[in-house]
Amino acid sequence: METSKTVTLKVIKSTDSSWKGPYDYVQEVTDIPSSSTLFDVMQEAQIHGDFTFQSKTHSVFGEEIISVLGIEANYKERKEFWALVDGATGELLPVGASTYVPKDGDIMLLQMRIHHPKQVPC
């Protein structure tokens, strides 16, 4: 029997803000299967709330998040990317949205960040 979980999705649109907030958007996604990936959580949030996002599929790493709440990351000109962040620690998730499986009660932060080539994991 599969149990369910609750995951909170938070968004920070400005590259000037700390991962601790203030947040531009917060949504609790409840009653989803415990096997749900972050990508599943985001799709669910899109169905039940005002959350929107776009992604493209990479042949190896799965879904890459390219825009959130209508805002596209401009990597070419500004080295911006939509970072997938652990909302409890501020650390980047080690894998992409369609691979990462958040635990019950987790906070997942989507934060616009500037890419610094020496950071981990990329």
Q: Which is nearer to ligand B12, 30 or 88 (CB)?
A: 88
CB of 98 to ligand B12, least distance (A): 8
Span of 16-24, 26-34, 45-53, 86-94 interacting with ligand B12 by CB under 6 A? 86-94
- C-alpha dist (Å) from residue 51 to 37, 82, 112: 16, 15, 15
Q: How many helices (H) and strands (E) does the chain have?
A: 2, 7
Per-residue mark of binding to ligand B12, 11-50 (x: CB under 6 A): ----------------------------------------
Tokens linked to 3 = 């149990």
Tokens linked to 63 = 């879904």
Instruction: Name which position in 9, 11, 38, 83 contacts ligand B12 (CB under 6 A).
Output: 83
End-to-end CA distance of the chain: 37
DSSP string, 88-115: TT-PBPSS-TTT--PPTT-EEEEEEEE-
65 near ligand B12, judged by CB under 6 A: yes
Tokens linked to 52 = 């929107």
115 near ligand B12, judged by CB under 6 A: yes
105 near ligand B12, judged by CB under 6 A: no
Which residues contact ligand B12 (rule: CB under 6 A)?
58, 61-65, 75, 81-84, 92-97, 99, 115, 121-122
